[in-house]
Amino acid sequence: MIQLHDKFFKPFISAEEIETAVDRLVAEIANDFADEVPVFVGVLNGSFMFTSDFVKKYPHPCEVTFIKLASYEGLKSSEDIQRLIGLTQDLTGRTVIILEDIIDSGKTLAEVYRIFKNEKVKTLKIATLFFKPEAYKKDFKLHYVGIKIPDKFIVGYGLDYDHLGRDLPEIYQIKETQHMTNLVLFGPPGAGKGTQADFLKEKYNLVHISTGDVFRYNIKNETALGMLAKSYIDKGALVPDQVTIDMLNAEVEKNTDANGFIFDGFPRTNAQADALDELMDSKDSQINAMIALEVDDEILVERLLKRGETSGRADDADESVIRNRIKVYYAETAILKDYYTAQDKYYGVNGVGSIEEITKRLSSVIDAL
């Protein structure tokens, strides 16, 4: 990921993918105009890299020139394109191929089209390296398209953000969620995970998403996902990961302005961790850390037996059940520890001490992220 001014951008299209697209456009145009000497017109500033790479690869004689569109002083060029800079040669009867770096709304293209039609060219073709079909609002035909992309802001390979980024050899896409901290909080039964999650969500203004709470909410309120999950539970079957992910996605969508999330109870397998990574990536975000509260088994058993005296939970009252729950926890988290360690995102935190002491330890990890 890179930062340009106040914005962050993530890798989107590699230099190799760009080269492949340029090669394909060169082959298509060379095949169509092998018997002519076309005039390639690059539209500045964005197309300088594309035009340069294109004409270097073009296998037949050609001419190349650049133009620039500008607005009258005091008007935004993106809204009111008024004049053309750089068109000095007579193009009457010539085959002209416009080389655009990117076409989105088509406002610039409309003006280019009007200008060159008035030049009485023989043939006018439009070639663009990048095209945003969702944003395109015009009816002009695009004769050659390199790569179709979503309607999101990109930089690199001639494209800039406030004058920075044109020199990048690859394309980066804006990271729309600029500042978000997302944590996976783990801890064995009795580690005090719920208590700490409450403190952390308040301190850092994070949204706590407990998988158990989300399931109970959806089932109780008979949402479509809740009813689907219940159908598996009633049959004694495991709820598919995708159902859980869809529930988590709904919770994330409810809180798009959040500073971040604490995920509690999910993931529990590598497949689920992959699915969570994909979910956060789709939100232009990521999991920053897995934080696991580490507490000695005997202390956990003691805590849970004591809690069982008042909680009324049967699984807090039987020592053999408690020890089995702890065993299951370690079996699950051992896999995830390796998963997040490989990403340099695993943090073990001593979970023994006062609530304030443990919160301070957790906070030191989060503050350092």
Annotated binding-site members for AMP: 211, 216, 237-239, 265-268, 272, 313, 325
DSSP 146-202: EEE--SS-EEBTTB-BTTBSTT-SSEEEE-SS-S-EEEEEE--TTS-HHHHHHHHHH
**Contact (CB, 8 A) for 25 and 97:** no
* CA-closest candidate to residue 107, choices 174, 43, 156: 43
| 307 annotated active-site | yes
Binding residue numbers: 190-195, 211, 216, 237-239, 265-268, 272, 307, 313, 325, 353
Burial string for 86-101 (b: 16+ CB within 10 Å, else e) reads eeeeebeebbbbbbbb
Binding residue numbers for ATP: 190-195, 307, 353
Rounded distance, CA 3 to CA 18, Å? 21
Catalytic entry in 57, 107, 307, 361: 307
Helix (H, G, I), strand (E, B) or coil at 4: strand
**Contact (CB, 8 A) for 224 and 145:** no
HEC string of 85-131? ECCCCCCCCCEEEEEEEEECCCHHHHHHHHHHHHCCCCEEEEEEEEE
Catalytic entry in 117, 313, 327, 360: 313
Contacts of 276 (CB under 8 A, 6+ apart): 184, 245, 248, 263, 266, 267, 287
* CA-closest candidate to residue 36, choices 125, 110, 100: 125
Contacts of 299 (CB under 8 A, 6+ apart): 190, 352
| 325 annotated active-site | yes
| 83 annotated active-site | no
Rounded distance, CA 328 to CA 240, Å? 19
| 313 annotated active-site | yes
| 114 annotated active-site | no
DSSP 202-230: HHHTPEEEEHHHHHHHHHHTT-HHHHHHH
Active site residues: 193, 268, 307, 313, 325
